[in-house]
Amino acid sequence: DAGITQSPRHKVTETGTPVTLRCHQTENHRYMYWYRQDPGHGLRLIHYSYGVKDTDKGEVSDGYSVSRSKTEDFLLTLESATSSQTSVYFCAISAAGPNTEAFFGQGTRLTVV
Amino acid sequence: GQQVMQIPQYQHVQEGEDFTTYCNSSTTLSNIQWYKQRPGGHPVFLIQLVKSGEVKKQKRLTFQFGEAKKNSSLHITATQTTDVGTYFCAGLYGGSQGNLIFGKGTKLSVKP
């Protein structure tokens, strides 16, 4: 498996609280992505990064922000968690963009109560 | 908008039977990727198809990309219990810096 570590792996949080998920890679890949996976929806892109401090929105970015201050770390923040953000979150990396193989992390299961 | 339709949503087969999942797009794709996700696991890349009419094989798995680059299929011959999982296609729109859109997946169960 590619060197991708997501933390935490599981989290339960209360509505209205901020939450930060971390993705750490050891592959020195340029591109990093955050997806959410929900039953009946497959994988949907939240935000992605194409370099340090270079990020852009995906198809479901509302309520989320990201930061990438180092090549190896990509943080996803839920500013004020809502129950609709209960999901499994996957980080992915790729060497040269969406037209190349993506490697996924193990996922973070987030429950907002 | 850009959307990749994948069917069927579920497929239950007896071990040894064949399995096929299909992906369709209303607009031309730059390429298509296929991923497999085991129960409780994360998606794992299987293959990427780029050329019109391309066919690639990996042991019992055969991947096809349509002539118009709007559809693709994954066929598994003689399924085994190790094939259990959800298979996703992901279509790329707009070239190397475009949008990769995942289908909703086909969940395969195999009865021994």
Residue located via tokens 């935000």: A47
B100/A90 CB distance under 8 A: no
| Facing B42 at nearest CB: one of A97, A100, A105 | A105
Q: Is A20 helix (H, G, I), strand (E, B) or coil?
A: strand
* Alpha-carbon span A47 to A59, nearest angstrom: 8
The DSSP letter of residue A84 is G
Interface mutation target, options A31, A43, A54, A104, chain B, most CBs of B under 10 Å = A43
A42/B42 CB distance under 8 A: no
pLDDT by residue for chain B (112 residues), tens digit each? 689 999 999 999 999 999 999 999 999 999 999 999 999 999 999 999 999 999 999 999 999 999 999 999 999 999 999 999 999 999 999 877 778 899 999 999 999 9
Of B36, B19, B38, B29, nearest to B78 by C-alpha is B19
Residues of A in contact with B96 (CB under 8 A): 96-99
Chain B, window 6-25: residues with a beta carbon less than 8 angstroms from a chain A beta carbon = 6
Distances (CA, A) of B73 to A51, B20, B39, B50, B76: 33, 7, 21, 13, 10
Q: What is the per-residue pLDDT across A20-79, written as a single tens digit (0 to 9) for each?
A: 999 999 999 999 999 999 988 889 999 999 999 999 999 999 999 999 999 999 999 999
Nearest chain A residue (CA) to B36: A104
Distances (CA, A) of B92 to A2, B14, B66, B97: 22, 33, 14, 9
Nearest chain A residue (CA) to B49: A99
Q: Which two tokens stand for residue A106?
A: 């193990």
pLDDT of residue B96: 72
* Residues in a beta bridge with B74: B21, B63
Distances (CA, A) of A29 to A4, A101, B109: 10, 11, 34
- CB of B40 less than 8 A from some CB of A: no
pLDDT of residue A73: 98
Strand B61-65 to strand A10-13: parallel, antiparallel, or no bridges (unpaired)? unpaired
